[in-house]
Structure 1
Amino acid sequence: MSELEASLYALDWNNYISVATITTISYEYVLQFEKEVAYVWGRQWSVMTYLYFATRYFGILVVMTCACWGGLFYIPEAVSYGIFLFMQWGISVYCALAKVILIWRLYAIYGQSKLILYVLSGLFLPVVALYLTMDIFLWSRPSAISVEEVIITPNIKYCEAVFHIGPMPAIYASIPILCYDILLVVLAIAVLVKHLKERKELQMKPNTYVVMIVRYHVVYFVMNLASQIFMAILWANLPTVVMYLVLFLYDTAPFILVPRLIISIWETHANDNCIHVSTTFEDCVCLTSPRILEEHEMNFGA
């Protein structure tokens, strides 16, 4: 394959994946819009409401920028590097917001344990520092990465990122983040096991909220593990098809899962018969304290 044919082949795949990404995210938004109106816009605003809007709309902005950058729309080389930096920093901010949501939910299902909140928040600060370091070292230095405009014909141009260092720094930087994610998923599974054991002794069905939150924790962990691996291997010389398929998953899955975690819980709560309200979360205490829910069920013969 000649250099010209290889460039056209890469441009075609870039555009295919861009269209697929825009279509997937747009369809997801339309699919969830009715639920958003019912369970987000019409409810009392809380910390989780702000987190939802941040992950939903900031996430859409980042995804659409990622989809348009490259070849789908012509972007001058003079501004292309700045847009590329926005994409990478935006993804890091989004990942940090996602972890805040997971910490918040763990705090909830652990009965609003201050110890859990303080420990996870304390460990989260080095993770944020690591995100900043990665973004500066891996993405924000011309010696590490640059953007070049590929001119196929006078009317066909696209931009591509050129990596000047190997994948090992990205791999090393991802290890502490993965360790933190492992801690989150282990804590989630531990509370689920304890909850299932207690429910079995009381001959009650498991709390829907606890099961849902833990399921999302596990799914998010698997997805984030894949994302960290993808981020590292993107620095290697992958075949064109493999690279763009990896980018498609990397640019869609996290931005779909995280808002769904929040809105699915609110949807379940809206169809529940819980009468308690948590002043901490401004959410149903059935979500925040399985112990109180059990007492409520026993008192009312549920």
Structure 2
Amino acid sequence: MSSTLESMTIIQQNNYITFVILTVIGYDYVLSFSNEIEYIWSKPWTSVSTLFLFVRYAGLCNVVSSLLAMILRLWAIYNRSRIIIHVLLALFSLEIIPILLSAAIYSDPSNLTVASIQRQDFSNCQVVPKSLIWAGVTTVVQVTHGAVMCMLAIAQFVWQSIQMYQVTKQWQLNRYMRLFIKQGIIYFSAVFLYNLVGVFESFGKPPTSAREGDLLFIVAYVPLFLLTPRFIISVRKLYARGIQGTRRGEGIDTGFGLSSAGGSANGTVMVFVDAEQNEGLEDIDEISMEVITSRSE
């Protein structure tokens, strides 16, 4: 009888958690839908717009498209550096290739290998990879890729903060918080957390209760699902305010290095912003123009 009650309690807890997750995702969708219309559907269609569709509506492709969005954003904030894009794409390929090879070599549609795992309050069956080597390689590359992207984003934030301080000669928290949000450090940290959870699941001690397993799932996957669409919208919102190029009207930057107008011959990027659309970004634009002026001198 006690075993039956425990099973019913676990099912009830899972139902509550599922309801909370769906409520949070639905609420976030309602909050961000107006921005989605304004900065995705109402703007000229680009490759980033297609990427947003995969992130927002194609759940099975969410992880891959999220990583591609992060890679493109890093490529953009590093001025479309070939070294950066080659390193990140190489790591991304090393993530995908072992998965495809493992599926092609070891997958057998006629049988499935599972193992019974005993928890404190229940037991369940888990699929056992036929090649632990491939699974381990993929997990290590994933966490390495996530760590590299997170460190590159933080390094760019620190570098721009130092440049900002050299111009203003003072530390102002509000400016650095805006820069922190603009660089998307939270989003890159969420991807790194997702990869860390993958390492914990592969090499760490398995959860001893249903609550621990559900909490691990929520911490890793829900932020990744929610934050990536917001990440693309926030970048599009920021770059929709400006026109990149040496003169007004050359082109609109997507913020991801795609479908952007080129800068001047010496690599300097000028950003012109309409006054009525610039509410809340005066400090950032002022500092950006000061940094550009100091570089020219």
> Does TM-score exceed 0.5, indicating one fold?
yes
Question: Which residue does 1:277 correspond to in 2?
Answer: 251
Question: Which residue does 1:155 correspond to in 2?
Answer: none
- What is the CA-CA distance between 1:266 and the residue it aligns to? 1.7
Quote the Cα distance in structure 2 between the aligned partners of 1:210 and 1:46. 26
TM-score in terms of structure 1 length: 0.68
Contact 1:21 1:252 in 2 (8 A): yes
Quote the Cα distance in structure 2 between the aligned partners of 1:268 and 1:129. 35
Quote the Cα distance in structure 2 between the aligned partners of 1:284 and 1:6. 61
Q: Which of 133, 152, 167 is residue 187 of structure 1 equivalent to?
A: 152
- What is the CA-CA distance between 1:18 and the residue it aligns to? 1.2
- What is the CA-CA distance between 1:132 and the residue it aligns to? 3.8
Quote the Cα distance in structure 2 between the aligned partners of 1:165 and 1:237. 16
Residues 187 and 55 of structure 1, relative CA distance in 2, 3 Å threshold: same
Residues 251 and 163 of structure 1, relative CA distance in 2, 3 Å threshold: same
Tell me whether 1:162 sits opposite 2:125 in the alignment. Answer: yes
Question: Which residue does 2:37 correspond to in 1?
Answer: 37
Which protein has greater RCO, CA pairs closer than 8 Å, 6+ apart? Answer: 1
Look up the SS of the partner of 1:163 in the other structure: strand
For residues 1-302 of structure 1, the aligned pairs below 5 Å read 2-59=2-59, 90=60, 93-132=61-100, 142-144=112-114, 162-163=125-126, 165=128, 169=132, 173-203=138-168, 212-229=182-199, 231-232=201-202, 236-271=206-241, 275=248, 277=251, 281-282=258-259, 291-293=268-270, 297=289
Contact 2:157 2:180 in 1 (8 A): yes
Question: Which residue does 2:172 correspond to in 1?
Answer: none
What amino acid is the match of 1:282? S
Compare 31-40 and 123-132 and name the one that shifted more.
123-132
Quote the Cα distance in structure 1 between the aligned partners of 2:128 and 2:231. 36
Contact 1:39 1:263 in 2 (8 A): yes
Residues 233 and 222 of structure 1, relative CA distance in 2, 3 Å threshold: same
What amino acid is the match of 1:212? K
- What is the CA-CA distance between 1:175 and the residue it aligns to? 2.1
Task: Note the residue ranges of structure 2 that are not aligned, 5 or more in a row.
Answer: 117-122, 170-174, 273-287
TM-score in terms of structure 2 length: 0.69
What amino acid is the match of 2:289? E
What amino acid is the match of 1:5? L
What amino acid is the match of 2:251? V
Residues 282 and 22 of structure 1, relative CA distance in 2, 3 Å threshold: same
- What is the CA-CA distance between 1:218 and the residue it aligns to? 3.9
Quote the Cα distance in structure 2 between the aligned partners of 1:233 and 1:6. 28
Compare 224-233 and 43-52 and name the one that shifted more.
224-233
What amino acid is the match of 1:246? L
Residues 301 and 121 of structure 1, relative CA distance in 2, 3 Å threshold: closer
- What is the CA-CA distance between 1:106 and the residue it aligns to? 1.0
How large is the RMSD of aligned CA atoms in angstroms? 4.0
Alignment size in residue pairs: 254
Residues 102 and 44 of structure 1, relative CA distance in 2, 3 Å threshold: same
- What is the CA-CA distance between 1:25 and the residue it aligns to? 0.9
Contact 2:140 2:199 in 1 (8 A): no
Quote the Cα distance in structure 1 between the aligned partners of 2:221 and 2:41. 26
Q: Percent identity?
A: 21
Quote the Cα distance in structure 1 between the aligned partners of 2:50 and 2:101. 26
Residues 125 and 266 of structure 1, relative CA distance in 2, 3 Å threshold: same
Residues 235 and 139 of structure 1, relative CA distance in 2, 3 Å threshold: farther
What amino acid is the match of 2:258? F
Quote the Cα distance in structure 1 between the aligned partners of 2:238 and 2:190. 19
What amino acid is the match of 2:239? H
Residues 36 and 164 of structure 1, relative CA distance in 2, 3 Å threshold: closer
Look up the SS of the partner of 1:252 in the other structure: helix
Quote the Cα distance in structure 2 between the aligned partners of 1:16 and 1:230. 25
Look up the SS of the partner of 1:277 in the other structure: coil
What amino acid is the match of 2:68? V
Q: Which digits, 9 at most, give the CA deviation of each residue in 1:198-241, with x for residues without a partner?
A: 33333396796785224135422443245325644898252122
